[in-house]
Structure 1
Amino acid sequence: MRFRRAWRAAVVAWACGMAACMAVATAAPAPRPAVPVPEDAIPSPGAVLVDPDFGVSTREFGLDRQVQMYQWRRSGDQLERVWSAGRIESADFGADYQNPPLPIDSQRWWARDATLGGHPIDETVLQALGEWRPFRPAFSDLPLNMAATFQPEGDGLGSAENPLAPAVGDLRITWRELHLPPLAGRLELRDGRWQLSPRTAAAALNAAPLPPVVDERPAVLETAADVVAPPAGTGNRWWWALGIVAAAAALAVGAAVRRRG
């Protein structure tokens, strides 16, 4: 009779252990790894970016308008005239040395629908990896009111009648466009969007040079092994479950033997 009780206890322990094993086997699979950038993928900036005030446009990933005004600035005990991107406060310079308000601001536009391989590129990628390069627009779409005030000067526009002798309040405006470097090894496809890989994001956050472009991971392809194999990290769980089963059975049999003795 005692042996039957011990046997039933062992069977119960075995059933509990198998239930634990089945629970581990049917647990939610681990998330699939992020997909790296294919070597031959070419990013697209999407819609053309346009400066609405001047009609300047680019087919790159960003457009940057830089405005400078010629104005007074204090230098020690003297006042001098310089080009400055922001208005210099001149309230205490005297009536004859006042800087006028800055009529046009610098402004920046980002590509909102940039894609790579049919998936959107997160704006943080443009901000972290993009390189601003000066370019000279054609000014073919310059509005009439701007054409009456500005004329080509260098790679941009200027309002001075004589660029060699500007007056306080004159403006000069230039533009830059954003170019992307090769992206392979620097991005990952997560949540349907191309985002910075952790390594690249850390380098950008620390203002460190970009890491060498080395894609250490193989391409992610779904195979029969991916479907059949248990989720990563579950092998140890199986051993724990089997260990629990063996320990419970041993305890039950040991108890039965002691009672019989």
Structure 2
Amino acid sequence: MKPFAAARAFFAFALAAVVCVAAPVAAQDEDSGEPLGEPVAGAGLRDRDFGVLSRQFGLDRRVEMYQWQRSTDPVSGELGYERIWNSAPIDSTRFEPGHVNPKRMPLENRRWWSESATLDGRPIDSSVLRALGEWKLFRPNFSRLPANLAATFQPEGDGLGSSENPLAPQIGDLRVSWRELRLPALEGKLELREGAWQLKPEAAAAALNAAPARPSATVLGELPRDRRWSWTWLVAGVAAAAAALLWLRGRRRRRAA
């Protein structure tokens, strides 16, 4: 066999070896039930009242109203009143005159959960979102705020407020903010059961106890030793075969010239 043909044959053999080794490794990862890709939230979640859209795994709307609340002076112990922001109505039926709160919230707190979240093309059980999800404050784009609400609310901080003067709110004023649910690294926390990703028992216990998540091991130096070396040698072999092929091709061209 001529040198050029031999180098080409070795190159083809090395490529075939890479495919033969990579296929079992990929199959082993899939069979192990460990997720390979990144979670996908699926269809966007929308707060239609305010035209707010989130493409994360959950959307939370928090409504607070400025209200009277009974308080006790820490020094004198005398009963008094203070004004606070609260997410539920405070009953003021027994308060002194001049300290009347609205009887109900004009807007309700609401929460939406993704129903189409997937990982590697398989559904993620809703218990995973509730156990591992982390609520993060975000400021929506208010370009789709309906006209009737735009007449009442204006941007205030990361959300909206109904106060004419945000620095001097009045009893009954509202402020609205939103949070998105994001998922942390899921490695080692999930397993496939009945065709869906669900929490491993140990991950469920850790989430219940608010234990820190185990760090992700995705760099080459943290791969198993036998897997690391097999890939290293195969890549080196392919590189050597490619170099030999290019050298022989250049040599043939020089001779022809």
Between 1 and 2, higher relative CO (CA 8 Å, sep ≥ 6) is seen in 1
Does 2:123 match 1:120? yes
In 2, Cα distance between the equivalents of 1:80 and 1:34?
58
In the comparison of the two structures, how many residue pairs are matched?
182
Q: Which residue of 1 aligns with 2:240?
A: none
Distance 2:161 2:52 in 1: 15
Alignment correspondent of 2:50: 54
Q: Are 1:65 and 2:71 an aligned pair?
A: no
Shift of 1:35: 1.3
Matching residue within 156, 163, 173 for 1:160 = 163
Give ranges in structure 1 of 5+ residues lacking alignment: 1-32, 219-261
Match of 1:36 in 2: 34
1:103 alignment partner in structure 2? 106
Q: For the pair shown, which has the larger CA radius of gyration, 1 or 2?
A: 1
Taking the aligned partners of 1:213 and 1:91, their CA distance within structure 2 comes to 55
| Structure 1 residue aligned with 2:24 | none
Matched, 1:206 2:209: yes
For residue 213 of structure 1, report the CA deviation from its aligned partner: 4.7
SS of the residue aligned with 1:36?
A: coil
Task: Give the structure-1-normalised TM-score.
Answer: 0.66
Q: Which deviates the most, 145-154 or 205-214?
A: 205-214
Instruction: Give structure 1 regions of 4+ aligned residues with deviation exceeding 6 angstroms.
Output: none
Quote the residue 1:14 is aligned against: none
Residue 80 of structure 2: aligned partner: 78
Q: Secondary structure at the match of 2:145?
A: coil
- Give the share of equivalent positions with the same residue, in percent: 59
Q: RMSD value over aligned CA atoms?
A: 1.7
* Superposition TM-score, scaled by structure 2 size: 0.67
- C-alpha displacement of 1:173: 0.5
* Structure 2 unaligned residues grouped into runs of 5+: 1-30, 73-78, 219-223, 225-257
Q: Match for 1:129 among 105, 129, 132?
A: 132
Contact 1:34 1:189 in 2 (8 A): no
Kept in 2: contact 1:203–1:211 (CA 8 A)? no
CA distance in 2, matches of 1:67, 1:112: 24
Deviation digits for residues 53-81 of structure 1, max 9, x if unmatched? Answer: 11101111110101110000000200111
